[in-house]
Amino acid sequence: MNSPFNEIRFSTYHEVIADELRLAIRRYNDAWEEVLWNGWQKSEYYASWIERRRFPVIVWTWTLLENLANFYISTKCDAEVFSELQKSELKWIAVPKLFTPTYSCPADIVTDLNRLVTRRNAVIHGKPLVSIDGDNRQAGNEPAITVDEHEFMTAIATLPRRLIDNLLQYDPSFHLLSGFRVLCGQVAQEFHTGEVRQKSLFKHPRALIEELMEQGFDRSKAIECAILLGEKPKLDETGNYTIHLGGKKVQVKPLKFFGHKAA
């Protein structure tokens, strides 16, 4: 596809932002797995603990969306017009219509974008509750948090990819966004990978996972071992199970779960 420009130069700091967002998502996924494993979903004691892992995902997602929107807008107008449009709160909802009149943002995406904006404003422009001598001088705007906000996190982590895909439906000729689409896809995939691992956590009996962990495997490796062992593993000539884990041959000691006793 031919470029609409004779020459274009642009920075690549968005790659740094996307990479940090992926790391933040990985940390959140690890924390959420801990919640699931320990059954903390309804224990508000851990709300602030997991919020520390959600907070970076929220901030970095917004940062990435700002960068991508500003890139798109700056390629559609001159510097003077851009200086005004970049102030808009509707960069993903209304501004693209100025360049592509048929553009429309689906209701579910608008809802999730507004949820992100509300949460971002609460944490970036935070006003703590303050009352001195009973004067209630500041009601505060800090978000009401709970342990289980996983649906919200799913929506946020996949939002960049959904916004890019939607924009490309209306402006498919803008192939420069394809590189951004890859980055946003990697962000969404990072979240999906964590969800797959979390589902695997409960595909195998807890007793088996815990027994493998007692042999020194961390939980993630214990799950891999359980998958590789299968339902009816056989002991080898050494009296252990032999599996290939991470490209290496690994021996697992007999497991009571399968009715096997150590020699």
User: Are 26 and 51 in the same domain?
Assistant: yes
What pLDDT, in 10s, does the model give residues 32-67?
Answer: 999 999 999 989 999 999 999 999 999 999 999 999
What does the pLDDT read at residue 18?
Answer: 95
What does the pLDDT read at residue 243?
Answer: 92
**Model-level pTM?**
0.85
User: Are 79 and 142 in the same domain?
Assistant: yes
User: Are 18 and 125 in the same domain?
Assistant: yes
User: Are 194 and 211 in the same domain?
Assistant: no
What pLDDT, in 10s, does the model give residues 89-106?
Answer: 889 999 999 999 999 999
Q: Is residue 1 part of a domain?
A: no
User: Are 58 and 89 in the same domain?
Assistant: yes
Given a cut of 50, is residue 1 above it in pLDDT? no
Range 119-146 average pLDDT: 86
User: Are 35 and 79 in the same domain?
Assistant: yes
What does the pLDDT read at residue 21?
Answer: 97
User: Are 153 and 214 in the same domain?
Assistant: no
What pLDDT, in 10s, does the model give residues 176-219?
Answer: 777 888 999 999 999 999 998 888 888 888 999 999 999 999 98
What does the pLDDT read at residue 92?
Answer: 94
Q: Which residue segment(s) compose the domain that 245 sits in?
A: 206-258
Q: Please state, rounded to an integer, the average pLDDT across all residues of the chain.
A: 90
Q: What is the DSSP string of the chain?
A: ---S-S------HHHHHHHHHHHHHHHHHHHHHHHHHHT-TT-GGGHHHHHHHHHHHHHHHHHHHHHHHHHHHHTTS-HHHHHHHTT-S-TTTTGGGGT-TT----HHHHHHHHHHHHHHHHHHT----B-STT---B--------S--HHHHHHHHHHHHHHHHHHHHH-TT-TTHHHHHHHHHHHHHHHHHHHHHHHHHTTS-HHHHHHHHHTT--HHHHHHHHHHH-SS----TTSSEEEEETTEEEEE---GGGT----
